[in-house]
Amino acid sequence: MASWLPTMSARIGLDGDAPCADCGAKENMIWFTDNVIWNAVMGENIVHEEARGKIICPPCFVRRAQLVFNPTGWRLIPEFPWRVSNDGE
């Protein structure tokens, strides 16, 4: 394996923090988006209105976002719990 590739420190599952508040899906992976987009879709005061904020799954977020703006597609970018090894391991 090339030394610049990320070394995975943990398996990322689909469990997430909680079921989706909209559809109840239990396989709700950990995900995030920019605050500006989240606030436009979910409301800027969502954290103050609800104790933990609302946890929703990506498909439900996309459904809500379609009502706010008209995106032509979505970009999915992985977030790695990784480190870069410089010693060739």
CB atoms within 10 A of CB 57: 22
**Distances from the Cα of 51 to the Cαs of 48, 63, 78, in angstroms?**
7, 23, 28
pLDDT in tens, 52-68: 568 899 999 999 999 99
Taking the C-alpha atoms of residue 7 and residue 43, their distance in angstroms, rounded to an integer, is 37
Taking the C-alpha atoms of residue 67 and residue 8, their distance in angstroms, rounded to an integer, is 37
Domain chopping of the chain, boundaries = 14-70
Backbone angles phi, psi at 43, to 5 degrees: 100, 135
pLDDT in tens, 63-89: 999 999 988 999 988 887 766 666 655
Asked if residues 22 and 56 have their Cβ atoms less than 8 Å apart, the reply is yes
- pTM for this structure? 0.68
